[in-house]
Amino acid sequence: MSNPCPESVVVRLSAERCPGFITNLILRCAARDESALGSLFDHLYPVVNTIASRGTPAGAVDALTLASFRRLWEQAPSYDPKMQRPVAWVMSEARSVRAAYLQAAAASS
C-alpha cells in the first residue's frame, strides 16, 4: 500500500489532507515494518504521552508511553480499519495500558 503523504506530515494534517496515513502506518506495523513504528511514534507520541500522564506518577509516564507503543506493535495485526478509526484505536490501546498499570498499582498498595 503506497502512502501519498510525506512522513513529516503532522497528525492533524495527515488526518485532514492524507486520509489513510495513520491507518497505513498501523498496517505497516502489522506487516512488521519497524520504520512504520518509528513514524507512528513520531506522529502520535504527544497523544499517547498525554494519555499515559493522566493519573499516573510523573516517573511512570515515559515507561507507560513506551509500553503503549509496544502494545500497538503487538496488537497491530488485529487492527481492522473498518471497525475503528486509527487514532481512536491508538488512544484505546494507550488507555488500556494505563488502566492495567493503575490497577496493578492499586492492587500492590
CA distance 105 to 21: 36
pLDDT computed for residue 6 by the predictor: 43
pLDDT computed for residue 109 by the predictor: 78
Domains and CATH numbers, the chain: 11-108 (1.10.1740.10)
pTM of the model: 0.82
CA distance 47 to 49: 6
CA distance 40 to 22: 7
User: Alpha carbon of 6 to those of 45, 81, 92, 98: distances in Å?
Assistant: 18, 21, 26, 31
pLDDT computed for residue 16 by the predictor: 52
pLDDT computed for residue 17 by the predictor: 57
Supply the mean pLDDT for the chain: 87
Q: Minimal CA–CA distance to 6: which of 41, 39, 34?
A: 39
